[in-house]
Amino acid sequence: MPVINRIKPITHKGKKALLKKEPQLIENAKETLCLKGKNTSQNVVDFMKDLYDLKKPNAQMMQKKNDILPFENIVPIEKFAFKYEASLFMMASHNKKRPNNLVMGRMYDHMLLDMIEFGIENYKGLKDFKVEKVSLGIKPLLIFNGEVFESNYEYRRIKNLLVDMFQREVVGRIRLQGLEHVLSFTAIENKILLRSYRILLKKSNTRIPRIELEEIGPRADLLCRRNKFASEDLFKQACKKPKELKMKKKKNISTDTLGTTHGRIHIGTQNIDKIQTRKMKGLKKTLSEKKSIQKRKIADDNNDNAIKLRKVED
């Protein structure tokens, strides 16, 4: 076979062409793009930086300010997301009408899918908690408190967006020592209370350690303001799984709620009288059983003979 000499790309266009990949069955962890609006406040910028620190290394922070209004024109953010290959974004802004404003959103096929605007209240940053922090890049546990996350349509979509925003790679197994970080979201009166904890495994008299939570920050109350959700058809299309990842249903096999697999076997009719089931002397057929079997055989023979005579007469 001829040897192919690969040339290292120099231009941005050449690098982008090599980095461009085909759609994957299992996606990598989604990248998040963090942007600053034209006017910002220190509180909302610090809060976005805290979220950026929790999401590293799957996040990119842009330093320059941008004159962008997402709810009026989303095209500039879509271009940034396409350029930096980020499917999630956060944007900090501040004005009189909407102070300490943070917009979270996600893309589908390089176009806006969902977007929600939060007002940041009662903020306390990571630096204000003088405790040990969690490891970099750790996958957090997400807890959603409140029935409204299940009963209300808007809050269901917000929950879905938050899960998409803070989850990392999909894992099949979990090691107890790998559980370090918890993000808690509690819905109360048009607000979502964000709390961040570190999991402490304490000694106990059993095999399972005693669990304690230590707040590490950031802490903030997210006031739900404006939102822009995709249509039901587009949302279903974005959530559609490839055929290769769908589990093929097997006939006559089912799984209950506890995870136990049950199978159903179909067999033909069996003559139990001809099956050898008794080999021990104590399990031999009694005289009454033998007589009943003989009577049954005689009756069957008589029936067969009667049927034959009818056929001959006909």
Residue-wise pLDDT for 185-244, tens only, equals: 999 988 999 999 999 988 888 888 888 999 998 999 999 999 999 999 998 888 887 776
| Token output for 165 | 């925003």
Half-sphere exposure at residue 116, Cβ-oriented, CA atoms within 13 angstroms: 21
Peptide bond preceding 57: is omega within 30 degrees of 0, i.e. cis?
yes
The whole-number average pLDDT for the span 155-163 is 94
Domains with residue ranges and CATH for the chain: 29-169+177-239 (3.40.50.10480)
For residue 162, is pLDDT > 80? Answer: yes
For residue 73, is pLDDT > 60? Answer: yes
Residue with tokens 């669990």: 211
- Residue 313 has phi, psi (to 5 degrees) of -65, -40
- Residue 153 has phi, psi (to 5 degrees) of -65, -50
Closest CA to 183 of 219, 147, 226: 219
Confidence band (pLDDT; 50, 70, 90) for 2? very low
Percent over 70 (pLDDT), the chain: 85
Residue 190: which region, alpha, beta or left (left: phi > 0; alpha: psi -120 to 50)?
left
| Token output for 34 | 């963090």
Predicted confidence at residue 156, as pLDDT, reads 94
Confidence band (pLDDT; 50, 70, 90) for 32? very high
Predicted confidence at residue 275, as pLDDT, reads 67
Report DSSP letters for 236-290, one per residue: HHHHPPPGGGSPPPPTTEEE-TTS-EEE--------GGGS----SGGGSPPHHHH
How much is the mean pLDDT over the chain? 84
Predicted confidence at residue 5, as pLDDT, reads 44
For residue 3, is pLDDT > 50? Answer: no
Confidence band (pLDDT; 50, 70, 90) for 1? very low
Helix (H, G, I), strand (E, B) or coil at 30: coil
Q: Residue 75 and residue 80: Cα distance in Å, rounded?
A: 9
Most confident among 13-22, 61-70, 286-295 (mean pLDDT): 61-70
Predicted confidence at residue 23, as pLDDT, reads 58
Q: Residue 220 and residue 213: Cα distance in Å, rounded?
A: 17
Q: Residue 167 and residue 154: Cα distance in Å, rounded?
A: 20
Q: What is the pTM of this model?
A: 0.72
Q: Report how far apart, in Å, the C-alpha atoms of 310 and of each of 158, 195, 299, 303 are.
A: 80, 90, 17, 11
Q: Residue 92 and residue 47: Cα distance in Å, rounded?
A: 9
Half-sphere exposure at residue 74, Cβ-oriented, CA atoms within 13 angstroms: 19
Q: Residue 68 and residue 91: Cα distance in Å, rounded?
A: 9
Most confident among 32-46, 175-189, 236-250 (mean pLDDT): 32-46
| Segment among 35-49, 179-193, 276-290 with least mean pLDDT | 276-290
The pLDDT tens digits of the residues spanning 93-132 come to 999 999 999 999 999 988 999 999 999 999 999 999 999 8
DSSP state, residue 24: P
